[in-house]
Amino acid sequence: MKTKFLCYTLLAASLFFTGCGDDDTPNDPVTTSDDDGMTDDGTSDTILADAQDETVGTLTNGDQKTWRISQATLSNNFGTFDISTNYNVVDDEFIFSGTRSSGSVEWRPGNDIKLDATSSQASLLDYYQAPEIGGFSFDPESSTALSGLGGKLTFTVVDENTIMGALNFNNRMTDATIDLTLTTKLASDYASPPSSGLSFSEVGSFEAYAAFAQQGNVGMVGSNPNNSIYLAYRDDCAENNLRSRVIKLDLATGNITEKRTDINDFFTRKLNIVNNELVLTGGLNVYTYDLDIIDDPIVSPHNAGSLSRFSSATQGDNLYIVGGDLDDPADKIRLFDRTTGSLNQVATLPTPKVHAGSEILNDKLYVFSGRTEFFNDDTAETTSYIYDINSGSFTSFDFPVTLFNSYAARNQNLIYIVGDTRDLSTGDVNIWMGVYDTQDGSITEIAHNLDDSDLSSYVHAMTVVDNKIYVAYGDASRFDPDDTCTALQWSIQAATLNE
């Protein structure tokens, strides 16, 4: 408490002493509150507010500004690890907007980070996350130190191009902290389509009978931590009825291992990785494997009826299934409940979709081209959709070509799409490749060197992992009428996205 005593002494010629009040007794002390327009260090509140406004202007560029991670260090009970160049750090973004009194920060974490890792490599995780949105506020009487996202993010604005901060994860039952340096994200920092096209070469091959190539029934996904590619399909020629086949290609060694089970299901298999588990969705069941595909899968009947030629996409623990109904119009988007094992409808597509690839990026589910009816090639269409998971709304756009089958996989802000175009009069099939940029909605076709000069050589599945695109490729017309179970060679081809 600030106290002032006012006392005036007048010495007159008569030597009479007069006190500072009307009475002969002193006044009570005059008390003032802390709200005197000054901070503790003597700075006026107005000056502090102006400085904070200037900091917010740096954060938001006056409207909205995106920052990227330039340096990241994970600290936990096992040590301190530089994770700056890990793919699940490079894909992070922080978007600041708003004002001093109503600031907002959106953290787009991309793939999650394994916080209890024992090394930088061990912190890699295939676990794509939804954005987190919250406010930010200044620390008391500071113009540069702030916190946001409910205290998870603490940071100091150093200059127009530098933020020093930390992410704290006490709410995850761990003492892990990630110390960060953020820098302005420039246009050149975003992923861009390969300017010189895609040059594919074989990285592996496997044997399968002719029906492997039936349109759109193959699942394919890649794992960054395991440096592996997985394929799944139904093998009707398998011995002992072990018809469900999952193949793992180790990209470091080229070795192929497989897991077979005798569970009956429809042809279509779609693969996703959720929190470092391999999830296979079939027409009747959902199967969860370990990434080493050693143990038998956990089987969950999804009770969604009969599904075929659907697509799938994941965000967090949520697995979305798009279209593919055999018994009803294929216009449903379903969400797999990992607790109950059920597929529950969450939205209705404006038009049915089969053979249409889908992918999720930042709370938006993208669905590309495809057909509206399973058995009718004439229903292939360019109409494509963006489903906003939060609002439940749809936006439509036209794809530049009609894809009879399409596959999609994300890479930072881009979604790569591979599919086939067809001449229904001749039966000729051609491979189309391109990329959808979620920043501006542009679609760029990409040249490639895969041979589609015959009528039936095309891509049967695709995925993106570690800056490379992988496809399952081969001639679908090969067939031995005397032995439908003749083993044929199918190729796994890879191309680097950006050198």
Q: Where residue 392 sits, what CATH number does that domain have?
A: 2.120.10.80
Same domain, yes or no, for 243 and 342?
A: yes
Same domain, yes or no, for 381 and 457?
A: yes
Count of domains forming the chain: 2
pTM beyond cutoff 0.85: yes
Asked whether the beta carbons of 438 and 414 are under 8 A apart, the reply is yes
What is the CATH number for 78? 2.40.128
The per-residue pLDDT for 8 is: 34
Count of helices and strands (H, E) across the chain: 2, 35
What mean pLDDT comes out for the span 115-137? Answer: 96
The confidence band for 173, taking pLDDT boundaries of 50, 70 and 90, is: low
Last residue of a domain, one of 187, 212, 239: 187
Asked whether the beta carbons of 158 and 164 are under 8 A apart, the reply is yes
Same domain, yes or no, for 280 and 232?
A: yes
The confidence band for 27, taking pLDDT boundaries of 50, 70 and 90, is: very low
pLDDT digits (tens, 9 = 90+) for 303-353: 888 999 999 999 999 999 999 998 889 999 999 987 788 889 999 999 999
Same domain, yes or no, for 127 and 65?
A: yes
Residue 20 located in a structural domain: no
pLDDT at position 354 over 60 = yes
pLDDT digits (tens, 9 = 90+) for 411-424: 999 999 999 999 99
Reduced to 3 states (helix: H, G, I; strand: E, B; else coil), residue 166 is: strand
Residue 21 located in a structural domain: no
Q: What residues does 159 pair with on adjacent strands? A: 162
Same domain, yes or no, for 228 and 152?
A: no
Same domain, yes or no, for 338 and 475?
A: yes
The per-residue pLDDT for 172 is: 59
The per-residue pLDDT for 15 is: 34
Its domain, for residue 173, covers 45-187
Q: What DSSP line would sit under 65-94, residue for residue?
A: EEEEEEEEEEEETTEEEE-TT-HHHHT-EE
pLDDT at position 216 over 90 = no
Asked whether the beta carbons of 353 and 372 are under 8 A apart, the reply is yes
